[in-house]
Chains A and B, each alone.
Chain A
């Protein structure tokens, strides 16, 4: 079996597993919606205020939703021993890690993109800004999954990894949050957003190429 084939097989397997647990599929999306709903309830429903905050609120909610689901990248495979098989197998581990992260993003990150425009409209974001929001989430949420995979790989062997995971991962999420929200803000005030988009794209390229290597190294440590 070639490594490319192994990559695709693992991707298909993870997606199939996610499809078998269909009830869990909606959870990150629900969480995302609920966090966003909390904001108008908490800070008051004044339209102008909400519009100003909308970019940040949507991005923070996306970040928290990503954080909440991170553990599932490796957890079940760690518990049933699949992860060990991946590590001792013949195929390059970073590539298989990438397959798992892509599957994770398709299951937890992509759904957020589907509900984000609806919620952004509720928050009073204007249509151009919503387009930019979608694009920034499309570029940014995979970065969240990729960076997160390093944190999960480091903490998967720990009994109480949850809190530490957020301490490890959130500081690394901040640049994505800053540029993602800045792009939407710029679009809302009618300014060009290419700069922020290029930086988000650069983050994505960097994360796709380097994060799987770091995550693979971290997995070897956690399972040694």
Chain B
């Protein structure tokens, strides 16, 4: 067995995950807090106001990371769904269902901050623009996954049903990502992920990267916390959980 498959098998083992995530969480929290503090301070205080949008551009430091994460979390769920269907890994199910509410919240944040940003810039809270609409559909996909998981009583078939749904819904992700390219929309085009380099000045860029990093870390931390709870709940009859509880 090579290193990769060994690592893969370990990853699928709940006790190993529980142990390692317990060690990782404090460090990640520290790093995440540092990035948040730097990103928020640099973004809200140090970065100069935009020449067109003035101070309201600062919503970018919440809006963009939340929007990126709302898509990223869905992709994670779809990958976890694929792994769960192919290899029947318990941890993949846990990751999938623990991610759904987090992703839904990121989507709500992206929509809400976008709406707040849209009011001063576009003069309207909401417009039926391709990117806004597809982001809203993403929210419905998350809600559908949560609802389906709650509706199926048997835990194993719930996990597999949700996996299929997550994989089917993933078609929406490229639509959201490229909506600003394919359609002429009110929403502006890509600023950071561009072939010819980011179209944003350094003084505004680094705080944004810090915030994006902080959001990613925040997602992984919350995911681990939720997954730990879920694992304990699922494995509550197994020996390692009993030993763990007895040890405390």
Contacts and interface: CB of A to CB of B under 8 A. Distances in A.
Nearest to B138: A171
B164 A221 contact: yes
A162 B151 CA distance: 11
A129 to B, nearest CB: 21
B169 interface: yes
Interface stretch (A27-35, A91-99, A153-161): A153-161
B148 A155 contact: yes
Contact of B144 (A157, A160, A164, A214): A164
Nearest to A160: B151
Nearest to A150: B168
B151 A168 contact: no
Nearest to A182: B183
A54 to B, nearest CB: 18
Interface residues of B, number: 22
Nearest to B164: A218
Interface in B14-57: none
Contact of B147 (A164, A172, A222): A164
Nearest to A153: B164
30 contacts: A150-B164, A150-B168, A154-B148, A154-B165, A155-B151, A157-B157, A160-B151, A161-B151, A164-B144, A164-B148, A167-B143, A167-B147, A168-B144, A168-B147, A168-B148, A171-B137, A171-B140, A171-B141, A171-B169, A172-B169, A174-B137, A175-B175, A218-B161, A218-B164, A221-B157, A221-B160, A221-B161, A221-B164, A222-B157, A224-B157
B168 A170 contact: no
B172 A217 contact: no
A155 B152 CA distance: 8
B85 interface: yes
A172 B151 CA distance: 19
A167 B144 contact: yes
Contacts of B185: none
Contacts of A154: 148, 161, 164-165
Interface in A95-137: none
Q: Is the interface of B mostly helix, strand, loop or mixed?
A: helix
Contacts of A214: 164, 167-168
Contacts of B152: 157-158
B129 to A, nearest CB: 12
Interface of A: 147, 150, 154-155, 157-158, 160-161, 164, 167-168, 170-172, 174-175, 178, 214, 217-218, 221-222, 224
A147 B140 CA distance: 16
A164 B171 CA distance: 20
Residue among A160, A174, A221 with max Cβ neighbours from chain B (10 Å): A221
A167 B165 CA distance: 11
A199 to B, nearest CB: 10
Contact of A174 (B133, B143, B148, B157): B133
Contacts of B151: 155, 158, 160-161, 164
Contacts of B164: 150, 154, 214, 217-218, 221
Contacts of B137: 171, 174
Interface string B129-147: 0000100010011011001
Nearest to A199: B182
Contacts of A174: 133, 137
Interface string B151-186: 110000100110011011101100100000000000
Given A155-B148, A170-B140, A171-B144, 14 more contacts: A147-B168, A150-B164, A157-B157, A158-B152, A160-B151, A167-B140, A167-B144, A171-B140, A175-B175, A178-B133, A214-B164, A214-B168, A221-B161, A224-B157
Contact of B165 (A168, A175, A178): A168
